[in-house]
Every structure is written in C-alpha cells, then in structure tokens.
A and B are shown apart, each in its own frame.
Chain A
Amino acid sequence: MKFVPLFLMLFLVAAAASAGQPRAVDTRLQEVQRQMVGVRQISGTFTQTKKLEFLKEPVVSHGRFFFDKPGTLTWEYVSPAPSGLKMENGKATVWNGPPEARVTQPGAMSRAAKMMADQVMMWMNFRPRDIQAAYDVGIAGENPLTLRVVPKRDGLRKYLKSITVALADDYRTVRSVTLEEDGAATTLDFDDVRFDQGPPRGMTE
C-alpha cells in the first residue's frame, strides 16, 4: 500500500487551502485536477518508515519513482533491500535484488503489484470522481492541511484502513503520507519532486 500515497501527494501539490466541509473537499479536488492538467511526468525520491505492531523497531527504506502518463510507472527501492516494480502497457513486472543480480518475481507477485499500481494510476490520472468513488475523502486538520481518505470497497479495506496526508505550508509538496494498515503504519516522506523532467538520475530503465 505504500504506492497509494505517492499520488495523494500529486493532487495535494496543488491543493487549495480552505474549508473542511464535503463541498469544500469537492472544490479542492477539482482545483487539483485543474492544476494537474498538462503534467506528463512526475518523479522524485522517498524515505519510507514502516512501523509494524510486531516489530520492535521501524523498518526504514529509501527509493525513487517515476510516472509517465498515461500508464508507465516505475517504483524502486534502493536500500536496504533493492526491489521494485514497473507497470507498462497494463502489465506489471516485479523484481528483487540489485540491477546486476535482479530476480523477476512470479506471476502471483506481479498480480499483487499490478493491483497496487492500478490504485496508484487512479491517483495519477487524477479524476475526482474516480477518487471519490473509491475513497471517502475528508479534511482531518488545517495546520498543516491534512486529508484523510478511507477506502469504500471491502476488498481494499482488507489491506488499507486509511491514508492520511499532511501538506507542507506552501501546498506545493507533501509533508507526510501515512498509510494505516492492520497492525502497521507506513509513512512516506517525499523529496526532490519534479514535473516533466524524465526519470530520476540512476533509476533503472
């Protein structure tokens, strides 16, 4: 579920500031949609901190991502354990290991990755109607502006309880994205987010 918040960030980048009412949420989502028009590519790096109920210490990992509209996504963990997925033409490929010793994962893993990537794509191809069909969207706080979305479908709720996104003060970047799962909370901190500048340096093609 770590992929989902990335694209929450994308719509939040340009999110408007005001209101906490449902109607205000609609307005804000529409504003984001307007501001996303014309964006073809998004790239950046992230730090992921995963707190598991049954792990004494959180697991911290680092990685980078690149999205090329309409449907190409690369999401790559660099450390501590290199792994990643690439979604292209509706097919997902998952790998483990460093580039020189990459092992492609079997179909079951790819199917799971595809499902995750599909969720990401939904956010990336930002359409408020799609988002609001899949999630209940609400404003959880104002300073900083924080959105909380809850999956509507039972299937998705089995994996993900909610996503909380805190915006930076300038509303251009995301301060943090937290995914609440059953017995786990994953926080993603994004950095060096760029638009229409190709994949990040060093990203595996």
Chain B
Amino acid sequence: MKKNVGLHMSFVLPALMFYLLFVLLPISTTFFFSLTDWDGASPSKNFIGLENYWGLLKDGVFFKSLLHNILWIAASITVPVAMGLLLAVMVSTSMAFIPAFYRVVYFLPAVLSSVVVGIIWDWIYNPSFGLLNSGLSWVGLGSLSRGWLGDPQTVLACLIAVGNWSYFGFCMVIFIAGLQSIDPALYEAADLDGAGSGIKFFAITIPLLRHVTSLLVLNSLIGSFKVFDLVYVMTRGGPFNSSEVIATYMFRTAFTLNRVGYGSAIAMVMAMFVIACSCAYLWWRERDE
C-alpha cells in the first residue's frame, strides 16, 4: 500500500498545484494587500494595519454600493425564486403542452454571456428606439417613457430586472429536480381525500421543497453580492454611482484609481460575506447526506 501513495497523490497534485497558484495564493495576497497602502506601481508597500477597513466605515460610496447590493439581494431572493417555483409546478402538471420546450426556453437566458445580455437590454431600454418606450407609448402610457438607464431613479431597478431575467430559469430547473424527488403517492393520497390543486400546493409541494428553496435563496444571495459583469457592461455603476455595486466599486478603486490596498479591503469584505453565505449553503446541502 505504501508504495502506492505517490502514485495515488499524482492524480491530485496537478490540480492542487494550479489551485494553490491561482486561488489560495491570490486570496492570501488580497488579504496582505488590504493591510497596505500600495498604489500598484511603487516598489514599497507600507503596512498600515486595518486603516483601509476603518476607511470603509467612513466611505459614503461604499455604503451606497452596499445598499444597492442589498436591494439586488431583496429582489432576487423573491421574484425569480417565486417565478421559478410557480413555473416548475405549472410545467410539471399534465396540462402543460410541451414541457421540454418550456424548460429549454426558460433556461436559455442563463447561458448567455452577460455582455450579450447587457447589449440586448441596453437596446430594450434605449430612449430613442427601445422596445420598452415604444411598448409604453403603444399602450398609451407614453408619458412614462424615459432614458431608463440614464435616470438615477430607475437605473438600479432596470439592472435588477435584467439580472432576474437571466436567473429565473435556473430556479425553475432546480425546482423541477426537487419536484421529481417528491413521492407521487403523496399526491395520489391527497387526490383520494379530494384535495384541490391549491391545497396540494400548500400542503405538500411547498413544505417538501423547503430545502430546495433555502438552497436557491442562499444561491441568489451569493450571486447578488458578486454581481459585476452586467453592471459594468450596462452602466459602469453610473450615473453618479446610482447603480454602483460592491464589485464595480472594488474594480474601479483598484484598477482605475490604482488604490490597490483599499480595493483589496473592499474585496476582502465581499469575500467574508460570500464565504459566510456559501458555508451556510454547503452546510444546508450536505446536511441530508
């Protein structure tokens, strides 16, 4: 057995090497950078302790970005998850015409690059030829039309809607898998007792999907905290930080303003939050095994 140890380790070592180099080394370095005032160019990095983190506490833009992430979270743990649940139940009934078609189409937005999604919705929100404004004037609500992404009042809601658009299909796929694991005998028994579909939904489906729902809520939480591409592509956080999120603020601070130390502190705060939520997610997932 002993002589096999080297052989067996040789299956894991290549993966481990890359993982050390491109994941564990960078995360440790982010932490190290966050304790310095490095500007990305100067040869010396001055150790300043937790000063960057104290700075964050007094940073209005940071809190504004954090608030936007929280609003993003609030929307995406409710709307797409609820939509996914309802659609999964509807697609799984015998009344749906071509279940496979619905499933494929609903998940389609989730496979698109955020660059593609961003450009598509940029068009829809376009003030001069966008589908949204033309649609509004077509139904007689032309007075509501505006430059959706240029207006600080509407820009964040518009971005969140796009995020949810590309996410509800994922929720549906996961709920469908959850539904398939429910014993059909439960529904048959309920049928015999004369229960209607509403009662079955609230008394069987919802309680038995509790676990899947928690997973999706945690997943939305993590995803909403990490959101970057879509915001960067569509608004870069503007106008006037009104769609700034933590990730775009971190990116701008570290790479445009060259405040590498401060940007790393933002990245660390983000990492702590995401790690905490991910641990909860993994704990939930493994609990039943």
Q: Note whether A and B form a binding pair.
A: no
Residues in chain B within 8 A of chain A (CB atoms): none
**A contact set with B: CB distance below 8 Å:** none
